[in-house]
Amino acid sequence: MSSALPVVGRLDVGLPVHISVHKSGGRDVWSAPLESAPEDAVQATWDALNEVLDPEIPISLPELGLVYGVEVEGGVATVSLTYTATACPCMEFIREDITDRLISESWIDSVELVELWDPPWTSERITPEGRAKLKLLGVSA
């Protein structure tokens, strides 16, 4: 691939490489980390994810139907997820919120996110609990 364009080095203009300065909302509802490793790490991971709200809609990522699967092995939590749209502007927020929530647990050493597009997300994936909360907010889905 030819490239005659000038290669401009990244300027230090204060932009962080990891944009975690941009915290999304909802972190105030996060519980304190568990004091010890849970018996059921997968369920505990789901419980933690249920506290991570979508940055635009105040229901959790599992309630919105974005989380496709959770595995925990050897301190590594693997979360399979999707997004509502291919150009979702909140992808980075969601990645950081999931990672920050899970990594706060002493029994999780690292978090791996597997981003999937199959099956595609549709509003059909919103859980009954999520729909009920949206209804209270005056949003139909």
Contact between 21 and another protein by CB under 8 A: the answer reads: no
Please give the helix or strand (H or E) that residue 130 lies within, else none.
helix 128-136
User: What SS3 class is residue 108?
Assistant: coil
Angle between helices 91-103 and 41-49 (to 10 degrees): 130
The tokens for 98 are 């999931």
- Provide CB contacts within 8 A for 103, sequence distance 6+: 110, 111
Find the shortest distance in angstroms from Cβ 7 to another protein. Answer: 8
Separation between Cα atoms, residue 100 and residue 31, nearest integer Å: 12
Contact between 140 and another protein by CB under 8 A: the answer reads: no
Contact between 119 and another protein by CB under 8 A: the answer reads: yes
The pair phi, psi for residue 72, each rounded to 5°, is -135, 125
Find the shortest distance in angstroms from Cβ 118 to another protein. Answer: 4
The dihedral through the CA atoms of 22, 26, 29, 32 has a sign that is negative
String marking each residue 25-64 x if it binds another protein according to CB under 8 A:
----------------------------------------
Residue from 88, 90, 103, 113 touching another protein (CB under 8 A): that is 88
Nearer to another protein, 10 or 74 (CB): 10
Find the shortest distance in angstroms from Cβ 125 to another protein. Answer: 12
Name the site residues for another protein (rule: CB under 8 A).
1-5, 8-11, 13, 15, 17, 19, 82, 85-89, 116-122
